[in-house]
Amino acid sequence: MAVSYQKRVVMCLVGKAAGTTWRRILLQLTGRREALALAKANRHVLHGRAGAYYGSFHQMSGLRRDHYLMGHYYKVMFVREPLERLISGYRDKMFRAVGYGPLRYAIKHRFRSNVSSRFAKRVFYALQIKR
């Protein structure tokens, strides 16, 4: 959970539910020049460095956590429909992420050993159009 002391907001950032976008918004709300520059960085840099600009619950004592949760701060959590979230995670890892190449190859050859690359490209193209 991220805590914006300035705006009095506690935000639960859920994976595959616009967490990167909300990190960017929290950084922009600080108004600090370095945070604004970080908000424009790619998502890998953003996720690694954004925590320095807002608080985190796991770093706080129990009394301080209670203060934030018991009516002094706004609590926010964004979620997505579960099936949509699952499909989004699959697309992200199987079609965009560079480090998952061997896994993509293993899955294709384990379950679809006779699929031609031309057919796979047509399916991928059709998925892109439906977005």
Measure the CA–CA gap between 53 and 30, rounded to whole angstroms: 8
Higher-confidence residue of 22 and 117: namely: 22
25-47 pLDDT, tens digit per residue, is: 989 988 899 999 999 999 889 98
User: Among 77, 79, 89, which Cα is nearest to 1's?
Assistant: 77
Average pLDDT of span 10-17:
83
The two beta strands, 74-77 and 9-12, are parallel
Number of residues that this document lists for the chain: 131
pLDDT value of residue 47: 86
Domain residue spans in the chain?
A: 2-77, 82-130
User: Among 73, 82, 74, which Cα is nearest to 17's?
Assistant: 82
pTM above 0.75, yes or no: no
pLDDT value of residue 119: 65
Largest CA distance in the chain: 60
78-115 pLDDT, tens digit per residue, is: 888 888 888 888 888 777 777 777 887 787 777 776 66
